[in-house]
Amino acid sequence: MKSAIFLVLLAVAYAAAEERKLFNGDKVYRVTPTKLEHLEWLKERLHSGDAAFDFWKDPTVLNAAVDVHVAKSALENFEKDLEKMQMEHKVNVDDLQKLINKVDAVSHRRRRDNRANIVGKFARYSEIIAWLTELCGKYSKIATCDVVGKTFEKRDIRYVKLSTGPAADGKEKRIIFIEANIHAREWLSSATAIYLLNRITSTYESDPTAKRMLDTYDFIFVPLINADGYEYSQTTDRMWRKTRSRRTGVRCVGVDPNRNYDMSWGETGSSNSPCTEIYRGPSPFSEAETKAMSEFLKPLKDRILGFFTLHTYSQYWLVPYGDKEGHYCPGYDELLRVANIGTKAIMMDVNKKTWQAGNTVALLGEASGGGDDWAKMIGIKYSYTLELRPGGNAYNGFVVAETEIEPSGREIWAGITAAVDAMKP
């Protein structure tokens, strides 16, 4: 117990002492492996734990584009190796820090215009918690705030339950569960979840769709799972992905929480090296965040009809399983039918963005230990990962402006409500 407390205090002190990481001169490449040697070379760097290489889209199969952020110090050798192997490539971002600065400048201007409301903004953790508390007070007839559990650094993982009471027959309603920001740098995911939460509460009395949703189902939102990592990405390292857990004798910090669930844990698409971005952890549910989420979800599994975990980026509606090629979840055809309805609603009714629905491995690649796979495995009928904007061909990846939040929210509102309407309890 004393050692655990010491590690938490050490983590807080360490974070306070760190300076903001800059990415001056770093580039983001899009490379396309067309030969097996290309793919293996990229995978070696993915699993090496070398901090000079940060994969935004992992190498999975031949002829699938890979996005990789390369530190300035490694550029010369990286370019030489690409040329030597004759691997197709282009520079998507010529200077990552300049892109971040440009996007931040837009955000700062918008925040000066409206300091009070965090909807449509990439808010800090404390601002999100304060807003959730205010929302539950304002809409106390339908909204209840509570805590899923604690992060490694002892931050609350907050949730909001929306309910108008029992169903007409007096029974408890089925639940639609929406979670976000399990990966720290995917800021658009939590901002989109906040948009959805604001929309359904603020328009319940005036919008027939919002009223139909809440009169039929209870909703639970967990807008910020990886609160430690998210706050660290806000203050210190914009590209941070993992949790912020520390272990005695381990130099590198954190675990990929979406490789830490007990579903095909430790298999393909994850790593046993603590310094990699896809480190699965020493054991399933080793992370405070995933352990808390699993303990919260299990008692509700028979009531949850739809489970949505929001990520970025690629504009994919992913259907389990994602642990290995050809491993489709039970009822896959039904899940795909509903997913196609959701993507069609996004493409036809809102911003005309192109979305694809399909199996996780087919669209994104292998990734064992994911939360959506685990949710499906424990018996939740409809379980999905939504990879939000930008699309897979966009150059900016995780670094999006706050002006993208509202259109993302409108897309996902249209997609999720259409999908929920199509679900068969």
**pLDDT for 119-175, tens place per residue?**
999 999 999 999 999 999 999 999 999 999 999 999 999 999 999 999 989 999 999
From 186, 387, 402, 404, the catalytic residue: 387
Count of other CB atoms within 10 angstroms of residue 352: 9
Residue 83 included in any domain: yes
CATH number of residue 304's parent domain: 3.40.630.10
Residues 60 and 134 in one domain: no
Instruction: Quickly tell me which residue has 């192997």 as its tokens.
Output: 85
The token pair at 319 is: 């259907």
Same domain, 251 and 374: yes
Residues 6+ apart with CB under 8 A from 338: 382, 419, 422, 423
C-alpha span between 72 and 141 (Å, rounded):
54
Name the average pLDDT for the chain: 94
Which of 288, 142, 120 has its CA nearest to residue 221? Answer: 142
Q: Within this chain, do residues 125 and 196 fall inside the same structural domain, yes or no?
A: yes
Do 56 and 160 fall into the same domain? no
Percentage with pLDDT > 90 across the chain: 91
- Structural domain total, the chain: 2
Q: Over 80: is that where the pLDDT of 11 sits?
A: no
CATH number at residue 65: 3.30.70.340
Q: Are residues 363 and 260 in the same domain?
A: yes
Q: Rounded CA gap, 244 and 171, in Å?
A: 41
Distances (CA, A) of 4 to 1, 152, 219, 244, 246: 5, 9, 34, 14, 9
What's the rounded Cα separation, in Å, for the pair 98 and 361?
A: 33
pTM for the model stands at 0.94
Chain centroid to CA 409: 14
Whose tokens are 């639609």? That residue is 176
Half-sphere exposure of 415 (CA within 13 A, CB side): 34
Of the residues 43, 62, 94, the one at which a domain ends: 94
Q: How many CB atoms are located within 10 Å of the residue 306 CB?
A: 23
Please report whether residue 108 resides in a domain. Answer: no
For the question of residue 387 being annotated catalytic, the response is: yes
Is position 275 within any domain? yes
Contact partners, residue 327, CB within 8 Å, separation at least 6: 321, 361
Range(s) of the domain holding residue 217: 117-422
* Ranges of H-type helices in 86-207: 96-113, 125-138, 187-202
**Would you say residue 402 lies in a domain?**
yes
pLDDT level of residue 7 (50, 70, 90 thresholds): low
Residues 70, 176, single domain; the answer is: no
> Within this chain, do residues 141 and 254 fall inside the same structural domain, yes or no?
yes
**Same domain for 70 and 128?**
no
Q: Give 302's pLDDT tier (boundaries 50, 70, 90).
A: very high
pLDDT at position 163, please?
98
Asked whether residue 22 is domain-assigned, the answer is no
Q: Tell whether 252 and 182 lie within a shared domain.
A: yes
Residues 68 and 212 placed together within one structural domain of the fold:
no
pLDDT at 265 over 90: yes
CA 239 – CA 185 distance, rounded (Å): 6
Q: Average pLDDT of 235-259? A: 97
**Which of 94, 127, 146 marks a domain boundary?**
94
Whether residue 389 lies inside any domain: the answer is yes
Write out the DSSP string of 38-103: HHHHHHHHHHH--TTEEEEE---STT--EEEEE-GGGHHHHHHHHHHHT-EEEEEES-HHHHHHHH
| Whole-number Å distance between alpha carbons of 227 and 275 | 20
Could you tell me if 184 and 151 are in contact, meaning their C-beta atoms sit under 8 angstroms apart? no
DSSP 8-state code for residue 204: T
Could you read off the pLDDT of 312-370 as tens digits, one per residue?
999 999 999 999 999 999 999 999 999 999 999 999 877 788 999 999 999 999 999 99
Residue 113: the pLDDT is 58
Same domain, 62 and 165: no
Does some domain include residue 170? yes
Examine the domain organization and report whether 203 and 83 are in the same domain. no
pLDDT score at 15:
47
Please report whether residue 270 resides in a domain: yes
Does 116 have pLDDT greater than 80?
no
Question: What residue has token string 């590690």?
Answer: 7
What distances in angstroms separate CA 37 from CA 33, 50, 80, 364, one per listed residue?
Answer: 8, 19, 15, 20
* Per-residue pLDDT at 101 exceeds 90: yes
Kindly state the DSSP code that residue 257 receives in the 8-state scheme.
G
pLDDT of residue 95 exceeding 80: yes
Give tens-digit pLDDT for 394-404. Answer: 999 999 999 99
